[in-house]
Amino acid sequence: MTSKEYGIQCIKDEAQALLDLIPKMDDEFEKAVNLMLNCKGKVIVTGVGKSGHIGAKIAATLASTGTPSFFINPLDVYHGDLGVMTHDDVVIAISNSGATDELLRFIPMVLHMQIPIIGMTGNPTSLLAKYSTCHLNVSVSHEACPLNLAPTSSTTATLAMGDALAVALMEARHFRPQDFAHFHPGGELGKRLLTTAFDVMRSDDLPILPPQMHLGEAIIHVSKGKLGLGIAEENGRIVGIITDGDIRRAMEKWQEKFFDRTVSDIMTRTPKIVKPETKITEIQQIMQQHKIHSVLVIDKDRLVGVVDSYSCMI
C-alpha cells in the first residue's frame, strides 16, 4: 500500500474502534457520571506513559467544562503528591492493560483513603478493573498500528470515552455557553461570550435627527454618521430610526416628491433596543431574527450608543 493508503486505513481502524465502544457503554458509565457529578472534591485523573498523556487531556477537558479536575502521575505520589488527595475526591485510573505496575502500586493508597475509583481499561478482568468502584471498558480489537503494537486505536478509544464523560457531565450540570466562556476568558469564544454592548458600541457623533427633518438633509447626516442609519429623537426621547434601505425605498416610492418628505414619514417607530450589559451573542441573535444590522443601546431611557453587525465581529 502507499503511504496515503496506510493513513486512510489507520483512520478507518480508529473510527471503527470508536463505534465498537458504543455496545460497551452500560450502567457502569451512568455510575461513573453520577460519581463525578456528586463529587464534592476534585476529579483526579492518573495514568502512565501514553495513558498518562491521554489522562492529562481528559483532565483538562473536564476542568474546562465545569468539573474541577487535574492530572497526577502515579510516580509523583510516592514523592509527596498524595497530599493533594482528600476523601471527597474521585480518581479516574487509566491503563489499557489494567496491569500497569506503577498504577497498581498507587491503587492501594486510594482504596485506603476510601476514594472511589473509576477504572478505564481495555481488560475488564484486570486487577485495576477488579478494584475499581466502576469500570469503563475501552478495549479495541486491534491497534491501528500495522504491527498491532503502538497505542493508536486504544488511546483514541480512551480519549473518546473521556470526552463522553465530560459531555454527559455538561448536560447533567446544564452547562451553558456563558459557563464555558468563564473557563476560557482569554480565547476568542470567551471574548465573544463575555463581551457586552457597552464594550463595542459606538457612542460618539451619533447621527441624531429631528423627526421633522426633510429627507434630503437627513441623507447628509446619515452619510456622515457612517452607521447606515439615523436616530430620530424628540425632546430627548427616541421616536424612531431610519436606515439606508428606508431611504432607498422612499426614493423609489416618491421619486421627485422624495425631498418633500420628512424623517417621520419613513422611520421605524419601534427600533430594537438593548441594554449596555447585553452580551453581543444575544445581540447577534436579535439581528438575525429580525434581519437588521444595528441595535440602539439604551441606559435608563437614554440613548448611549449603537451596536452594528461589524461591532460584533470580534
For the chain, give every domain's residue range. 3-175, 197-308
pLDDT for the residue numbered 192: 65
Q: Which residues of 153-177 are buried (b: 16+ CB within 10 A; e: fewer)?
A: bbbbbbbbbbebbbebbbeeeebee
Residue 76 has a pLDDT of: 73
Is residue 280 a contact partner of residue 314, using CB atoms and an 8 Å limit? yes
Domains 3-175 and 197-308 share a fold: no
Tell me which fold the domain 197-308 belongs to.
Answer: CBS-domain (3.10.580)
Which option is the CATH number for 3-175: 2.70.50.60, 3.10.20.30, 3.40.50.9100, 3.40.50.10490?
A: 3.40.50.10490
Q: Tens digits of per-residue pLDDT, 17-36?
A: 999 999 999 999 999 999 99
Q: What is the structure's pLDDT at 188?
A: 56
Average pLDDT over residues 290-306: 93
The mean pLDDT value for 221-234 works out to 92
Q: Is the pLDDT of residue 80 over 60?
A: no
Q: Does the pLDDT value for residue 82 go beyond 80?
A: no
pLDDT score at 78: 59
- Which distant-in-sequence residues (6+ apart) come within 8 Å of 262 by Cβ? 211, 212, 213, 214, 215
DSSP class of 206: -
pTM for this model (two decimals): 0.63
